[in-house]
Amino acid sequence: MRFAKFCQTLSDKAGHPRTFQVALGLIVLWAATGPYFHYNDTWQLIINTSTTIVTFLMVFLIQNTQNRDNDILHLKLDELIRASKSAQNSVLSLEDLESKQLREMRKAYRKLGNADNEDPTHKVPDGESR
């Protein structure tokens, strides 16, 4: 729980415009010092190492927050499916299916959607167009 909260807080701060401005400022500062250091290898190594470390850590941060957001979204959708009387509860466990089974289900749902669109008795709510 601590790690998830830490990642969420860090993700919120990393996505803030002020963080971008600070990062941009650091890059401008680094670039401005190039002539002073004669654009030597150490000067280049500083930016290469810094960006590599930040990128490496951000991959894990982003993956953690995406996994969490994805889980939350799925739980909300599962609750909507469960609460809907006309929904098929079998779709609540789709993550257990193989890719081939998912493709087959997707084709079946597309077919249902196409049949619904072609049905002349299908009424489109007022204000909406097909």
What's the average model confidence in pLDDT over 30-48?
Answer: 94
Using alpha carbons only, give the angle 38, 42, 46 rounded to the nearest 5 degrees. Answer: 115
- pLDDT greater than 90 at residue 105: no
Specify the DSSP element, H or E, that contains 33: none
Where are the chain's structural domains?
2-83
d(CA 105, CA 94): 10
Q: What is the pTM of this model?
A: 0.60
What's the average model confidence in pLDDT over 100-107?
Answer: 87
Q: Check: CB of residue 94 under 8 Å from CB of residue 102.
A: yes
Give the chain's largest Cα–Cα span: 77
